[in-house]
Chains A and B, each alone.
Chain A
Amino acid sequence: MLNVQWLTASPEEYVMSDITDISTQKIWSILEEVVDTEVPVLSIVDLGIVRSVITKEKLETGKPGTTEIIITPTYSGCPAMDVIRIQIRLTLLLHGYENIQVTTVLSPAWTTDWMSEAGKQKLKAYGIAPPNPSQQVCNTRLFAEEAIQCPLCNSYNTRRVSEFGSTACKSLHQCNDCHEPFDYFKCH
């Protein structure tokens, strides 16, 4: 279901719990168990896919509240997003949550700037060059090349083999020093 409101409208019978309270923090840490299917060292929290967690308690006692997870897709056609939606639901169900709603928002658009520092370190350790800050290179200049550091030997003497790599989010590079090919998580 496509929903571009930043927060869903709250019907009168619900009361929103404080965004900083223990229950939402617990859910954020549970969501770290949901990993990116293509790059399993990264969680959807590392990637900045999870934008918000909203828990609502129904005022009438005895009835369960709802848990709403707001996510945003990385690339329009990313096939992992459907799997991630299912995984979020399953993981929360396994932890005993009911009435889970996963809402996708498109705006503001996902950017690699939302990837956590921890996420970037994990990528590098996995052998994928993490994204440079997006303001450096997201432009339309032709035949331009970003300076990408080899995640294996740390040299900057690398070249781009193809702007499009094994997944929508990556490009293919090769190091001229250690000669190893590697993927780069493209700035977006």
Chain B
Amino acid sequence: MKKQALINYLLHLADNALILGQRNGKWCGHGPVLEQDIAITNISLDLIGQARNFYQYAAQLQGNNATEDTLAYLRDTREFKNCLLAEQLNGDWGQTVLRQFFFSSYQFQLYRQLLQSADSTIAAIAEKSLKEVIYHLRWSSEWVIRLGDGTDESHERMGKAINNLWMYTGEMFMPAEYELTLIADGIAADIKSMQPEWKQKIQEILNEATLPVPGDTVWMQTGGKEGRHTEQLGFILAELQFMQRAYPGMEW
């Protein structure tokens, strides 16, 4: 039972990174300027690397010929446990950097806590990933400020982006069933306790960006961690998994 909870938790962490990495990767060749095209794809690569680490560990625990590839390419939407925020549309550049900002500030807290995980593999992956997330957080914070406190148009677009994405931010701090047992054992991060500090960081940056901070009464969408996803995930997986599904076992 506990082993299954751990596997589910690892898949959740991996899926978060993979799906957001996949979303960010879609900017490749389409970035607003070359250097930022490179930036978003670099972030994408870091995220996919994190996903690989978690998938490899999960596959090891699962046994039965599971590999990082079978886990990433052969599970369907109901089995994916990523937060809904990761699968939302890229939208315009403003929405993408805002999504990254919300997510990276969450990952920053998460990995900092996981450094203390009772599971040494998770702690090691967190130690590695935290260094990269610090860059992601800095980059996305700077962009939120640039665009929020930018032109009238960029300011307006950032406002719309906040409205689009805010309802998906609550889920990151609501533990799933499989997380509860692991939190008690000191393996998983106590995400609920992270929320105040996260909110503080968000306020700090949005204030500097002259953007409004949504109130606490906004209804939060949930379900991603349990496999209940928005329609977006289907399209993402259809693209991600097509080759493996069409040509099972294929390799480059």
Interface on A for B, CB 8 Å cutoff? 1-2, 4, 73, 75-79, 105-111, 138-143, 161-166, 168, 172, 186, 188
Contact = CB atoms under 8 A, between A and B. Distances in A.
Contacts of A111: 131
A106 B128 contact: yes
25 contacts: A1-B60, A4-B120, A73-B128, A75-B49, A75-B132, A76-B50, A76-B128, A76-B129, A76-B132, A77-B49, A78-B49, A79-B45, A106-B127, A106-B128, A107-B120, A107-B123, A109-B128, A138-B131, A138-B134, A141-B138, A142-B142, A164-B42, A164-B43, A164-B139, A172-B38
Contacts of B50: 76-77
A2 B35 contact: no
Contacts of A79: 45
Interface of B: 35-36, 38-39, 42-43, 45-50, 52-53, 56-57, 60, 120-121, 123-125, 127-129, 131-132, 134-135, 137-139, 141-142, 145
Contacts of B46: 75-77, 168
Nearest to A111: B131
Q: Is the interface of A mostly helix, strand, loop or mixed?
A: loop
A116 B160 CA distance: 49
B134 to A, nearest CB: 6
The 6 A-B pairs of least Cβ separation, nearest first, read A77-B49, A76-B49, A162-B35, A107-B124, A164-B39, A106-B124
A102 to B, nearest CB: 14
Given A78-B49, A162-B39, A140 B120 contact: no
